[in-house]
Amino acid sequence: MLIVQLSDPHIDIHHPEKSGALRRAVDHLLSLPMRPDAVLVSGDCTEHGRPDEYALLRELLRPLTVPTYLIPGNHDDREEFLKAFGPQGTQGLPGFAQFVVELGPVRVLALDTHCPGANGGQLDAPRLGWLAERLGEAPRTPTLIALHHPPLLTGLKVMDSIGLDGTHALQELVGAHPQVEAVVAGHLHMRLVRRFAGTLVMTAPALEYAWLPDLTQPDKLIVQRQPPGYLLHHFTPDTGLTTYASAVSPGPWETLHDGQGWAP
């Protein structure tokens, strides 16, 4: 089971470089020898949440031809988002883009952390209650929780000021449900991994770039723009979940080991 996570495309009609970044990521994905079973876009799907942006996003994702699921970020507009993508998955929470996707042995719980008018995210009682019910009904099914705002503090003041309200409650819920293989997010435009409630939280870079922050100046946000990329969450019953990171800058394929021995 291979679930590809693209994040933060920020599609903007007036900024064709954003569309170009998503197009390159889709092209790269299509060039791989392995085919994803599903693609997840983890929020900030558009820059302003406008219908024309969602229409363009849909057109850019069309070549993927595998089931594609999207969750909103702070830049999205929930009403327009729901109009554009309708109900997704199963067991949707009415009024939110929050739903379940059953992918063979893996269950994805997609959470909606959008909070209208705010850049920070929110998990309030209805959204957390829905998550508690979903986690409670399949305690032995390997589960991936996907949301836009990662439940963590980085120490980078600017990013922490637009973090996730509801992190503590989420931590308690996840800690009580060991079937959660990982919590995957976007929002930071950086690749990072850290421990969380007995599992891992990890973030995907933005499709236009990955930021590497200057950690010596946490009161500011000073970043180096690095090549963009995305995550590949690979699950097999034997190995559990392994997440690979790909850059969107294809190099040649090389056989390093042919199954018999290492290449000279």
Report the Cα 206 to chain-centroid distance in Å: 10
Measured from the CB of residue 213, what is the shortest distance to Fe ion in angstroms? 15
Report the Cα 221 to chain-centroid distance in Å: 22
Measured from the CB of residue 7, what is the shortest distance to Fe ion in angstroms? 8
d(CA 145, CA 131): 9
Counting residues that bind Fe ion (by CB under 5 A) gives 2
Q: Please list the alpha-helical segments (H only) found in 32-180.
A: 51-61, 78-85, 125-137, 157-160, 167-175
CA proximity to 161, closest of 120, 192, 117? 120
Measured from the CB of residue 94, what is the shortest distance to Fe ion in angstroms? 26
Binding-site member from 2, 8, 21, 201 for Fe ion (CB under 5 A): 8
Site for Fe ion in 33-62 (CB under 5 A): 44
> 111 or 241: whose CB is closer to Fe ion?
111
- 9-48 burial, b at 16+ Cβ within 10 Å, e below that, comes to bbbbeeeeebbebbbbbbebbeeeeeebbbbbbbbbbbbe
Measured from the CB of residue 13, what is the shortest distance to Fe ion in angstroms? 17
Under the binding rule (CB under 5 A), the answer on residue 77 touching Fe ion is no
SS3 (DSSP) at 90: strand
Tell me the residue number closest to Fe ion, measured at CB. 44
> 12 or 181: whose CB is closer to Fe ion?
12
> 92 or 205: whose CB is closer to Fe ion?
205
Contact range with Fe ion by CB under 5 A, out of 6-14, 91-99, 207-215, 222-230: 6-14
CB–CB of 236/1 below 8 Å? yes
State the residues that interact with Fe ion by CB under 5 A. Answer: 8, 44
